Amino acid sequence: MTALATAATAETNPLIAKGQALLQANCARCHAIGADDASTHKDAPPFRVVVTRYPPDNLAEALAEGLVSGHPDMPEFVFEPDEVVAITTYLESLKPQSK
Ligand code: HEC
């Protein structure tokens, strides 16, 4: 799972746009999903912080199996494999690019 492109953007990689749309639809009402927005739920960490805490592979697994742990306020989500790939691709794109 390290084949994720490095400096890809939503313009160059349609998966990023798809992942962003999925997060916008399902997560953005609590989590900040962008590069500098603030979470609307005070306890929900912005995704740009989440990606620095967890390797994308761990997040991918959690997304596929259903995110529940540590999510008292959060409904359970289970994503299809292609959606997981899109989401993790988007999340990777949030990370500061190591050049
Ligand atoms: C109803 C509000 C809400 C929604 C919607 C929501 N979350 Fe959360 N999420 C939270 C809260 C609150 C926390 C912090 C829980 C805690 O620390 O106890 C959290 C924590 C997380 C964490 C763990 C962060 C960490 O450092 O432990 C991940 C990963 C996460 N959310 C992913 C998602 C994803 C992916 C979605 C959309 C599919 C989503 N969340 C939707 C409220 C929400």
Give the separation between CA 84 and CA 63, rounded to whole angstroms: 6
Examine the pLDDT at 80 and tell me if it is beyond 60: yes
Average pLDDT of span 64-83: 74
Tokens of 2: 């390290």
Q: How many CA atoms lie within 13 A of 74 on its CB side?
A: 20
Cα 72 to middle of ligand 1, angstroms: 9
Tokens of 99: 């050049």
Ligand 1 pocket residues where CB is under 6 Å: 26-27, 29-31, 41, 43-45, 50, 53, 59, 67, 70-74, 77
Q: How many CA atoms lie within 13 A of 36 on its CB side?
A: 0
Ligand 1 atom nearest to 63, measured from its CA: 35
| pLDDT 10s digits, 29-70 | 999 999 888 999 888 899 999 888 888 788 888 777 776 555
According to the model, what pLDDT value does residue 1 have?
Answer: 46
Handedness of CA 33, 13, 57, 68 (dihedral sign): positive
